[in-house]
Structure 1
Amino acid sequence: MTATTPVGASPAASPPAATPPAAAATGLTRRLDAALLARLVAGVTATGEPTTVTAPFTGEPLVSLPQSTADDVQAAYASARAAQASWAATPVRDRSTVLALLHDLVLRRRDEALDILQWETGKARGHAFEEVLEVAACAQHFSRRAPRLLAPRRRPGAFPVLTRAVESRRPKGVVCVITPWNYPLALSDDVLPALVAGNAVVQKPDTQTALSALWLRELAIEAGLPSALWQVVLGDRDTIGDPLIDGADFVAFTGSTTAGRTIAARAGQRLIGCSLELGGKNPMVVLADADVDKAARGAIRACFNNAGQLCVSIERIYVDRSVHDAFVRAFVGAVGRLRLGATLDRTTDVGSLTYQRQLDAVRAHVDDAVSRGATVLAGGRQRPDLGPLFYEPTVLTDVTPDMSLYRDETFGPVVAIYPVDGDEAAVAAANDTEYGLNACVWSRDTGHARAVAARIDAGTVNINEGYASAYGSQGAPMGGMKASGLGRRHGDEGLLKLTEPQTVASQHLLGFDPPAFLGPDRYATVLTHTLTALKRLHIR
């Protein structure tokens, strides 16, 4: 028995589910440092009973984390709000310096982050490294852009020369950031633009993956952030969900569409803003002129990074019928060569699922599809010989609308392939969903691909890449259409949404009341001629 096994290989006899697999244990020789764990746990604002987090690789206990009460949440908001005023008064260039230093610290201590990420999520090390790159890039981007974006700006006034209008950007106050378990470090980067904009933050990470968020907070404090500005609370929605929304001035949430609707409704009652990145059933379109081998290699990344537990991962592939068979052969062959297992190095391609409930959902989707006539071309099996939550990367065909897999988000290592006849059919199929988060188009002709991409209803569309081109472009907005969310992260909007625009306008020489020497009628005539002249002269 080995710690890694190709997807196409036959598993060894499976041990009982409650027994940590010996194969996984042989590849997991490094444990998290006890002193580091103690420091991170101390960063939680919590007085409730602790809960034990288990390692997905083995099912063994990983760390005990205290849980927050409603009173703890209120205390976190009080501390954050008390610290926020002086932080907002700090020059934006000084706030930006914290992010610039954080960038360096994240990269310098990347191996520490990778170990934490692997132990608490079960993902492969290469996939964990993408999280490190994302949060470092985010810190660098906003450290450089914030001084310019937040600087006061002159705007056209009511009258040229006579009116001077200035737009300023003020912080919202205290921002609530709720982050999920699948990319706990990368998605904690919503905290960074909030802080550089002058806000304080109360973050609620998922308890399973709270260590990653707490690690980033520790590095931010080391970079010069006052500790009270970034509060971390833990707990379930029933206990602290309402106090979290009720204490915030803005909410940034990443998670399910169902939870997003609930948060949006409560935020709406309070008339506060929210940004929601939600679910997806993301399509990949392989056009007739695509490089089939390149598309098949790209689909591996697009479908199976983090065992498919990625909001922008591909779950549907539409292939032009003229290249369908060639693509399927290349893709299924590549899937069969993937190395599945639990190691703290780069000898595995795909890791474990994170939660038992996610494994149950994946298994239910595949079993339902197969029972209704779908064909399994690769994978389709749980792998308890490797660990309690491993499931093989799975490729299906003959998936029909009566199967839950057809429309529902799986959020696991499962993808369905469909043949289509031409671009029109591909676009129609890609858009036949309530979601609109991410998509990708593959073609040798970039112009052709861009024309197709422009017709797909998704917040981001990648050409000849599954998701990283758009997601990694920090200067461009990232988010969803339709049931995939509201607002955007990254880009200018990723920072400006966390501020309140304020206009201060001053009037000079002449006001808006008619001067005594003109009278109302002549004043109206003069204004009419003035506005007409200004338009002709392109002054306003």
Structure 2
Amino acid sequence: MSEVKTQQYLMSINGEWVGDELDSLNVVNPANGETVGTVPNGGEEEANRAIDAAHEAFGPWSRLTAYERAGYLKKLHQLMLDHEEELAQIMTLEMGKPIKESRGEVKYAASFIEWFAEEGKRIYGETIPTHVSGKRLQVWKKPVGVVAAITPWNFPAAMLTRKIGPALAAGCSVLMKPSGESPLTAVKLMELCEEAGFPKGVVNLVTGSSSKIAKAIMVDDRVRKITFTGSTEVGKILIRQSADQVKRLSLELGGHAPLIVLDDANVDLAVKGVMASKFRNSGQTCICANRIYVQAGVYDEFVEKFAEAAEQLKVGNGTDESCDIGPLINQAGLDKVNRHVEDAVNKGASVVTGGKELTDSGGVFFQPTVIKDVDRSMVIMQEETFGPVAPVQKIASDEEAVKLANDTTYGLAAYVFTENVARGTKLIEQLNFGIVGWNDGAPSAAQVPFGGMKESGVGREGGHEGIDAFVESQYVAIGMD
């Protein structure tokens, strides 16, 4: 793997790379603590300039045909595939993801651009039967306006493309605000947008202070849509801040996903599924299995096979091609994982494998961990861990599984393993989660809706629903007499 050198990156506003006069924020590789790049520490002034540019560009961009906008997106899609390795390397260096996963994320991120390039051609209006002969009744679809896309650190490519893909396809202009912990992937995506030929101001990138940039976005009535992925706590703040202008919101917030293994499940398939879900990105995903409920008849077999599989995972620097588990994003993340494990053990749970942080490398690592005999009194079953720790609780019945699974304020993702179609159907019908993997630990795809119930968010990304969030319905009554 070739080296990506530390360098000063800039932000892009109205087609110009700016910010070299500002203070810089260091971007640190959590695998070794080394600075891999810097970005400008922008704030309200830079956000306002980006909003100005996006507002100016919105009119001409929205008046292009869907086919013309699709042409730009198709160019971007191809450029992302052409630069897959470079994007993957940047991603791994700035946030630690194993390089194999980073390459997979680039393909996943590009798939949203491809999907919405085509979906933009299918934003259909309606002609409605009239109630009087002298009228014609129609519904037109119009882009909502300037969109602010605010994204987290854990999927720095896919979280952006899942938002800007439908926004651009619908005719909106965008301001991208990536996480300060992994902004370099967004910088490269911005470069590719420019190479694809997007007109000035249609796509803008602002890095820096989240609170200051968000303040500018939330008080400017020209920004009509906020699309945000992050914590429920921040989501609630955005809801309150958006109230004064009744801004449209799409919020993909926190999760605490249950994974249920019933006694008629294929245990090997269940282990494969939970491995794919739990340990992806070192357990730092919003839909990873955080609470594993296994019926008593297969409990011991499942725990044994699951622990054996977890022990085979290799922990290390994500640049290592053989690495399966990279670092946690920072020391605060490591502290939280340690706290969850210690609390569980102190309350009677047993560590089957793992259970300790790895400090020799100078990075922020934790062993892949399986804990058995947990119960709902433990913090790990109440809070999202965001780390490579899998707690397993024994259950007696389908009814108990449903009760425990739904016993949370979150409702993003859930997983069920059973070979019985009737049993699985009845159980899933009772689960209050926006996404359910049935005998499937990796349900995400560009063509399906992604989002949660309850405090896990508002709206859906992906699929045809993903573009609906960026258009307004305008009813037009035409008098013909």
TM-score normalised per structure 1 = 0.84
Unaligned runs of 5+ in 1: 1-28, 510-540
Q: 1:238-264: CA deviations, max 9, x gaps?
A: 333211222321100100000000001
The answer to whether the aligner puts 1:479 opposite 2:460 as a matched pair is no
Q: 1:417-463: CA deviations, max 9, x gaps?
A: 11111211111111111110001111223453233222211001011
The answer to whether the aligner puts 1:206 opposite 2:157 as a matched pair is no
Summarize the alignment of residues 79-478 of structure 1 with structure 2, pairs less than 5 Å apart: 79-149=53-123, 151-159=124-132, 162-189=134-161, 190-247=163-220, 248-466=223-441, 468-469=442-443, 471-472=444-445, 474-478=446-450
SS in 2 for 1:465: coil
Q: How far apart, in 2, do the equivalents of 1:267 and 1:47 lie? A: 31
CA change 1:359–1:452 in 2 (3 A) is same
Q: How far apart, in 2, do the equivalents of 1:221 and 1:455 lie? A: 47
Q: 1:280-333: CA deviations, max 9, x gaps?
A: 110011111110011112111110100011001110111111111111111011
Q: 1:222 Cα shift?
A: 1.5
Q: Which residue of 2 aligns with 1:497?
A: 469
Q: 1:9-59: CA deviations, max 9, x gaps?
A: xxxxxxxxxxxxxxxxxxxx6321568x65778746675311211111110
Q: Which residue of 2 aligns with 1:488?
A: 460
Q: How far apart, in 1, do the equivalents of 2:401 and 2:395 lie? A: 6
Q: How far apart, in 1, do the equivalents of 2:217 and 2:367 lie? A: 37
Q: Which residue of 1 aligns with 2:51?
A: 77
Q: How far apart, in 1, do the equivalents of 2:235 and 2:276 lie? A: 27
Letter in 2 for 1:485: G
Q: How far apart, in 1, do the equivalents of 2:104 and 2:289 lie? A: 17
Question: 2:10 touches 2:40 (CA, 8 Å); kept in 1?
Answer: no
CA change 1:43–1:155 in 2 (3 A) is farther
Q: How far apart, in 1, do the equivalents of 2:350 and 2:29 lie? A: 33
Q: 1:67 Cα shift?
A: 0.8
SS in 1 for 2:149: strand
Question: 2:413 touches 2:433 (CA, 8 Å); kept in 1?
Answer: yes
Q: How far apart, in 2, do the equivalents of 1:392 and 1:380 lie? A: 6
Question: 1:352 touches 1:387 (CA, 8 Å); kept in 2?
Answer: no
Letter in 2 for 1:443: T
- Between structure 1 and structure 2, the one with the greater Rg is 1
CA RMSD across the alignment: 1.9
Unaligned runs of 5+ in 2: none
TM-score normalised per structure 2 = 0.94
Letter in 1 for 2:122: R
Question: 1:106 touches 1:219 (CA, 8 Å); kept in 2?
Answer: yes
- The number of residues matched between the two structures is 475
Question: 1:56 touches 1:353 (CA, 8 Å); kept in 2?
Answer: yes
CA change 1:354–1:186 in 2 (3 A) is same
SS in 2 for 1:31: coil
Q: How far apart, in 1, do the equivalents of 2:225 and 2:4 lie? A: 34
